[in-house]
Amino acid sequence: MRGALPTWQCDPVTGAWSIVAPLRAARPEEYGLGRPRPAGSVRRPPDCPFCEGHEARTPPELDVVRARSSEPNGVGWRFRAFRNRFPTFEPTRNGATTKSDRGTGPRASSARLPVPPAGARAVGHHEVIVETPRHDRPIGVRPVREIAALLEFYQRRLVAAESRFPRGSALLFRNQGPRSGGSLAHPHAQLVAAPFVFPTLAAELARARPGLRAGRRRTCALEADVRLAERRRSVVVRRGGITAYVPGAGTGGFSVRLVPSTHAPSFTEATSSELRDLAAVVRAVLPSLERSDPTGSTNFWIHSLPAGTPANRAFHWHAEAVSRAPDPDGFELSSRVAVRTLEPRAIADRLRGGFAR
């Protein structure tokens, strides 16, 4: 049914992009619209498709970490990935791009983002990564070594996604809590990939270009921002090669940026040591952000670009975590300028105070 396929739309006045994805409306809804739950009140529903023992309720596994003695698409797994049954993007045959798929979305390679024809196909890949067999195991109760293993699985899935669209981009994100935009409480992430560079990544890439000076690489925008955060005293936590800080501008909620000290465009290039450091920072920051929101709602994402594309070398991969802001008012909606009531240093102090003892 053509009407059910996801399509691109662009506002010719503002340049804002949107995707019309009718299948998303059929997602199972565990949280319940209009009934926010307090943090820590997650209970396993009997029909959760992500819980161990319900593997037949999901598409077949694309990738999995499981016990050697266990059977594919059965119990005994640690992490598993499969196609999203309610995708934002229309899958292509075998995940590859066809000639007709190219040019149906915004590209970072042109100075002006082209406006696709009305109703152009939103082609790409959309998968789910279930992070634990247990419904009631949020990231805040897992040991650092388990989170590091999960990040390695994230890496593996991102490698696969980037291989589908080497000139495009991929976004890995997780929604947790009734105000996060998610529909199921079982801890999971999602990965989307498309044959173009997403507008947020394109904008960051345009600002990131450090170039060379006297044969040495200039400091990129993210590295400079970390130094500014140090002067502002808005660093939340630092573990080894990963610094988490509150950026100077952000959402109306609490936002934290997690940046590696080593410059690399792709999260797939992160070393085992960096993943362990990142796991320790995530283990501290995400639960603190959850405690800052009455419903425990947070979002987390990784910004990364394929390392094999020369134009991407200026990009510096990083992650961001946010708690949900209050609903924006008319000024924020009309101006697209978020209003905060606390300075970055005060937010960092509050988040450090929320770390589990």
Contact 140, 296 (CB under 8 A): no
Residue type, 317: W
**323 DSSP β-pair partners:** 298
Distance, in Å, from the CA atom of 195 to the CA atom of 170, rounded to the nearest integer, reads 9
Between 254 and 154, residue with greater pLDDT: 154
Percentage of the chain modeled with pLDDT above 90: 49
Which residue has better confidence, 271 or 36? Answer: 271
How much is the average pLDDT of 168-195? 90
- Tens digit of each residue's pLDDT (9 = 90 or more) over 104-152: 444 433 333 333 455 678 889 999 999 999 998 888 889 999 999 999 9
Q: How would residue 267 be classed by pLDDT, with cut points 50, 70 and 90? A: very high
* Local structure of residue 123 (DSSP, 8 states): B
| Mean pLDDT, rounded, of the chain | 83
Point out the least confidently predicted range of 59-63, 118-122, 163-167. Answer: 118-122
Q: What is the pLDDT of residue 116?
A: 46
Among 270, 24, 342, 283, smallest CA distance to 139 is for: 283
pLDDT class of 34 with cuts at 50, 70, 90: very low
- State how far the Cα of 265 lies from the Cα of 204, in Å rounded to an integer: 11
pLDDT (0 to 100) of residue 109: 39
pLDDT at 17 over 80: no
**Domains of the chain (ranges plus CATH)?**
42-105+114-201 (3.30.428.10), 203-353 (3.30.428.10)
**pLDDT higher than 60, residue 286:** yes
How many angstroms separate the Cα of 166 from the Cα of each of 142, 200, 256, 302, 309? 33, 18, 29, 17, 8
pLDDT at 53: 95
**Each residue's pLDDT tens digit, 91-106:** 876 544 444 333 344 4
Structure tokens at 282: 């995530």
- 184-201 mean pLDDT: 91
pTM of the model: 0.86
**Residues 310-333 as b or e (16 or more Cβ within 10 Å = b):** eebbbbbbbbbbbbbbeebeeebe
